[in-house]
Amino acid sequence: GNSVTQMEGPVTLSEEAFLTINCTYTATGYPSLFWYVQYPGEGLQLLLKATKADDKGSNKGFEATYRKETTSFHLEKGSVQVSDSAVYFCALMNNAGNNRKLIWGLGTSLAVNP
């Protein structure tokens, strides 16, 4: 079946540090991949996405590359800010067959200290 595995948090970094949050997936066919972000007290919002192998999604300084050979979609940012403190969710949508539901990772909490 389809599944998403994220690295466990919490992740605590100092401002301007490099961030990587690992995400790997299992899926049949060729899924689309997403990173969502949830700021404290808010709902989730789409951060970036990639719809096919080797695509790179990017937004707000965050990047993730769809790696089919390693079934991964790791989130990276070169220099984090305090305002990046949030929970980050990796998700996939299977484009083959039943794609009514997104498959979600468990989320990774990030705290950035000044």
Partner 1 sequence: NAGVTQTPKFRILKIGQSMTLQCTQDMNHNYMYWYRQDPGMGLKLIYYSVGAGITDKGEVPNGYNVSRSTTEDFPLRLELAAPSQTSVYFCASRTPGQGEQYFGPGTRLTVT
Point out which residues bind partner 1 (CB under 8 A): 32, 34, 36, 42-46, 49, 51, 89, 91, 93, 99-102, 104-107, 109
Instruction: Return the HEC string of 63-104.
Output: EEECECCCCECCEEECCCCHHHCEEEEEEEECCCCCCCCCEE
Selection from 7, 36, 32, 2 nearest residue 22 by Cα: 7
> Residue 79 CB, nearest distance to partner 1 (Å)?
26
Instruction: Please say which residue, 15 or 106, places its beta carbon nearer to partner 1.
Output: 106
> Residue 36 CB, nearest distance to partner 1 (Å)?
8
> Residue 44 CB, nearest distance to partner 1 (Å)?
5
